[in-house]
């Protein structure tokens, strides 16, 4: 049985995407809630973030928001969060989301989502956490990024073991099943592993 209680979800806050993205985000949130996972996210009432969070809440689980002060002052937060943390900046926001969550899932998103996902992969690579990291590849959205990750590995900018740092799910079901059955692997971080190939 997994020890995961809170899943951090990175996702777009845009309301103008192709409709299938919202459908899959809702499906993922529905499955998260039914599996008993609470959700940590950006605290927004917009986009894929909210499509997912609202379904988690509808299934009786908690949603916890973390939002930088600048965005909070724009009024894009929702009152539906059981708790909303307002941070000074984006950097402190990421740290808080990391601190209070047990797993990470990236839905399609923009530069913010890409930055958040990349930082969590590096944190795991260096042994700062051993959380499951899932890329939910809706509509092949992340295909080119995953190809780029392969290029990084093939050209020796990262070791072969980097492939084990994250899991690519093609469906919400696959993502939730991975979280439910996640077994942390021993990530040995040594100078040789980081700097030699």
pLDDT band at 151 (very low <50, low <70, confident <90, very high): very high
**Three-state SS for 74?**
coil
User: Is residue 107 packed enough to be buried (19+ CB in 10 Å), middle (13-18) or exposed (0-12)?
Assistant: buried
Would 19 be classed as within a structural domain? yes
Would 67 be classed as within a structural domain? yes
* Tokens matching residue 58: 């509808």
Strand ranges (E), the chain: 6-10, 38-41, 63-68, 83-87, 103-106, 133-136, 167-169
Would 55 be classed as within a structural domain? yes
Q: What is the pLDDT of residue 1?
A: 47
User: Looking only at Cα atoms, what is the longest distance across the chain?
Assistant: 49
Q: What is the pLDDT of residue 194?
A: 65
pLDDT in tens, 109-127: 999 999 999 999 999 999 9
Residue with tokens 């307002």: 86
Residue 197 has pLDDT above 60, yes or no: no
Span 36-61, average pLDDT: 97
Would 1 be classed as within a structural domain? no
- What does the mean pLDDT of the chain come to? 94
pLDDT band at 186 (very low <50, low <70, confident <90, very high): confident
pLDDT in tens, 168-180: 999 999 999 999 9
Would 154 be classed as within a structural domain? yes
Residues contacting residue 177 through CB under 8 Å, at least 6 positions apart: none
Indicate which CATH number applies to the domain containing 190: 3.40.50.450
Number of domains in the chain: 1
Domain holding 179, by residue range, is 6-195
Q: What is the pLDDT of residue 147?
A: 98
Span 141-156, average pLDDT: 97
Would 166 be classed as within a structural domain? yes
């Amino acid at each position: 049985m997994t020890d995961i209680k809170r899943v951090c979800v990175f996702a777009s806050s845009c309301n103008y995407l192709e409709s299938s993205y919202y459908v899959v985000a809702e499906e993922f949130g529905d499955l998260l809630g039914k599996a008993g996972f609470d959700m940590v996210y950006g605290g927004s009432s917009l986009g894929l973030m909210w499509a997912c969070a609202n379904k988690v809440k509808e299934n009786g689980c908690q949603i916890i928001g973390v939002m930088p002060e600048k965005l909070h002052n724009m009024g894009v937060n929702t009152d539906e969060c059981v708790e909303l943390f307002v941070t000074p900046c984006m950097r402190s926001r990421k740290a808080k989301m990391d601190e209070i969550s047990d797993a990470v899932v990236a839905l399609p998103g923009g530069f913010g989502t890409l930055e958040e996902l990349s930082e969590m992969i590096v944190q795991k690579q260096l042994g700062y956490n051993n959380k499951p990291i899932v890329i939910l590849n809706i509509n092949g959205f992340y295909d080119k990024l995953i190809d780029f990750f392969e290029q990084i590995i093939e050209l020796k900018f990262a070791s072969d073991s980097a492939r084990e740092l994250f899991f690519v799910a093609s469906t919400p079901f696959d993502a939730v099943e991975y979280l439910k059955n996640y077994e942390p692997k021993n990530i040995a971080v040594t100078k040789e592993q980081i700097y030699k190939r």
